[in-house]
Amino acid sequence: MNPMLAALMFPAMFLLIFLGIPVAFALIIPAIVAGWFAFGPHLFDQLYGSLYSATTNYILSAIPMFVLMGAILERSGIAARLFRTMQLWLGRLPGGLAVATIAMGATFAAAAGVVGAVEVMVGMMAIPAMQKFRYNNSLISGTICAGGSLGTMIPPSVVAVVYASLAQISVGELFAAMLFPGLIMVGLFILYIVGISVLKPGYGPAADEPDMYLPLREKLKITASGLLPTMLLIVAVLGSLMAGIAGPTEAAAVGAIGALILCICYGQFSLGVMRESLAITVRISAMILLIVAGGMMFTGIFAANGGGRLIQAMTSNLGLGVTGTLILFLFIVFLLGFVLDWTANVLICVPLFLPVLTAAGVDPIWFGTLVIIVIQTGYLTPPMASSIFYLLSIAPPDMTYGQICKGVVPFIMIQVVTLLLVASFPMLATWLPQRIVGF
């Protein structure tokens, strides 16, 4: 056991990331080097245990199904129907198209759970619609980045699945804990958009086109075909999970099969759609699960070298108390979000921080909710915000990096407000799991 060796693993990991090494290998390489000094030839027995643990984790098998569910909804055109429905009902409000974009982001986040997929899909539909009515580019970019980032906070979230597997808590309980904070965040996003559009009418003018004036009967017909089936699918997935009827993998399978049935019913099914959906699923799932395996190797070797005791000693010596330690850990998660993928962030921080906090009496469900809000905030925070880079990949030439950074600032502040609310009133995260999970 060598605590100094454990401490050197983090600088080595960051150095490899800055050199452009993929995150999974930036985790595996320091684990192998530090493990060789600690275990010698027996290192590979230790690493095999971590790899076996990752590949046989039942909860993690839900990830490919949730990704497939979102990919089918995206590729089959179901998402486009959702966006048109949102536009019909919300477009005539001040900033209505931006409100529709947030509502679409929240709805599709509940169906997909993967930030990049949500943001790119919503952005490709929302940017032309908002620019047509001369929306301010900063409001457009901030809205799309914020709406896309809801894939982290709105269940079923892949981030929550990974956290629950590491913390050994119920995925259904964590999803239930995230529900109220997620809805509060969406409500505050919408309140800001409407407010800024009223105060500055040029930022988000109301949409004025024939579609917005369809008869009520026609709007209800479009809503019934475009919104209700997807909402029923979301309710089936989350309801079966929170009620304890199905485990995470079974609920994810219900979502994937339901998305496929919707695709067939809408007449969008084809071999091309399935091939593209499966290719996206394999690529994203392989990336996530390889990082999971690398993260488990890293944290396993770190712990074997006395890393856990090192962290406990550091926090004890600082004398911060429970609240100070919690703030410190959340701040570290936030800083790591600048340079690490969310998967690596969760895999490194949760196994190291959670034992310290659990021993101090901190509820792991509440802490998980706070961690997920902080990770979502990291998606938007310049200069290394992944949401900004997702948007830049599809943004028109007249939308600049500076405008995007300016646009995300109010939404970052709203996420910080949500974090403070949940931190100050833990019942926002803990009340619902105690009431509905498993009834």
**Can you spell out the DSSP letters for 170-220?**
-HHHHHHHHHHHHHHHHHHHHHHHHHHHHHSTTTSPPP-SGGGG--HHHHH
Position 13 in a domain:
no
The amino acid occupying position 265 is: C
Q: Which two tokens stand for residue 323?
A: 């609240």
Close Cβ partners of 370 (under 8 Å, ≥ 6 residues apart) = 326, 330, 419, 422, 423, 429
Q: Is 3 exposed, middle or buried (0-12, 13-18, 19+ CB in 10 A)?
A: middle
Q: What share of the chain is helix, strand, coil (3-state, %, to 5)?
A: 80, 0, 20
Contact in structure between 42 and 77 (CB atoms under 8 Å): no
Position 36 in a domain:
no
What's the CA gap between 336 and 102, in Å, rounded?
27
Close Cβ partners of 389 (under 8 Å, ≥ 6 residues apart) = none
Position 199 in a domain:
yes
What's the CA gap between 245 and 229, in Å, rounded?
21
What's the CA gap between 385 and 71, in Å, rounded?
23
Position 368 in a domain:
yes
What's the CA gap between 61 and 55, in Å, rounded?
9
Question: Which DSSP state fits 142?
Answer: H
- Look at residue 140 in the predicted model and tell me its pLDDT: 93
Contact in structure between 387 and 116 (CB atoms under 8 Å): no
What's the CA gap between 162 and 295, in Å, rounded?
11
Give the number of other Cβ atoms within 10 Å of residue 187's Cβ.
Answer: 14
- Give the model confidence (pLDDT) of 87-146 as tens digits: 888 878 889 899 999 988 888 777 665 666 677 778 888 888 888 888 999 999 999 999
Close Cβ partners of 156 (under 8 Å, ≥ 6 residues apart) = 66, 110, 113, 175, 237, 238, 241, 248, 251, 252, 255
* HSE of 233, CA atoms in CB hemisphere, 13 A: 30
C-alpha to C-alpha distances, 331 to 161, 324, 375, nearest whole angstrom: 22, 10, 10
Q: Tell me which residue has tokens 């929306």.
A: 135
C-alpha to C-alpha distances, 301 to 30, 43, 91, 277, nearest whole angstrom: 9, 9, 54, 36
- Measured in degrees and rounded to the nearest 5, phi and psi for residue 114 equal -120, 120
Q: Tell me which residue has tokens 């938007």.
A: 380
Q: Is the dihedral of CA 39, 40, 45, 48 positive or negative?
A: positive
* HSE of 310, CA atoms in CB hemisphere, 13 A: 16
- Give how many domains the chain has, as a whole number: 1
Position 403 in a domain:
yes
Of 159, 182, 147, 153, whose CA–CA distance to 67 is shortest?
159
The amino acid occupying position 325 is: T
Position 44 in a domain:
no
Position 89 in a domain:
yes
Give the number of other Cβ atoms within 10 Å of residue 216's Cβ.
Answer: 7
Position 417 in a domain:
yes
Close Cβ partners of 100 (under 8 Å, ≥ 6 residues apart) = 83, 86, 87, 89, 90, 91, 126
- Look at residue 439 in the predicted model and tell me its pLDDT: 42
Domain range for residue 233? 60-297+305-436
What's the CA gap between 159 and 153, in Å, rounded?
8
Q: Tell me which residue has tokens 């989350």.
A: 238
Contact in structure between 303 and 348 (CB atoms under 8 Å): no
- Give the model confidence (pLDDT) of 282-302 as tens digits: 887 887 778 778 877 887 787
Q: Tell me which residue has tokens 């509940």.
A: 110
- Look at residue 199 in the predicted model and tell me its pLDDT: 93
**Parts of the chain with a pLDDT under 70:** 1, 54, 111-117, 307-308, 310-312, 315-317, 339-341, 383-384, 437-439
- Look at residue 219 in the predicted model and tell me its pLDDT: 83
